[in-house]
Amino acid sequence: MMAVSHFRINIRFVLAVVFTLASLTLLGWGLWPYGRSVRTQTIRPSDMQLPASSAGAAAGIPETRLLKLEYPTTIRVKDADVVRLTLDVDEQGGLAAGVIPNAYDDYTVLAEARLDMTGMGVLPLEAVSEPMQPGKSVVFLWNVRPAAEGDYPGTVWLFLHFVPKKGGADMRVPLSAQGIEIGSNSFFGMVPGPVRWLGVVGIFISALLGLPYVAKVLGWLFTHLKR
Task: Work out the number of other CB atoms within 10 angstroms of the CB of residue 197.
Answer: 13
pLDDT in tens, 141-155: 999 999 999 999 999
Q: Quote the pLDDT of residue 98.
A: 55
pLDDT in tens, 123-135: 999 999 999 999 8
CATH architecture entry for 33-185: Sandwich (2.60)
H helices of the chain, in order, are: 2-31, 103-106, 192-226
pLDDT in tens, 11-62: 877 787 887 888 888 777 777 888 899 999 999 988 998 886 544 567 888 8
Longest dimension (CA), the chain: 104
Please name every residue paired with 171 in a beta bridge, in sequence order, or none if there are none: 162
Name the pTM for this structure: 0.77
Q: Quote the pLDDT of residue 91.
A: 73
What residue ranges do the domains of the chain occupy? 2-28+191-226, 33-185
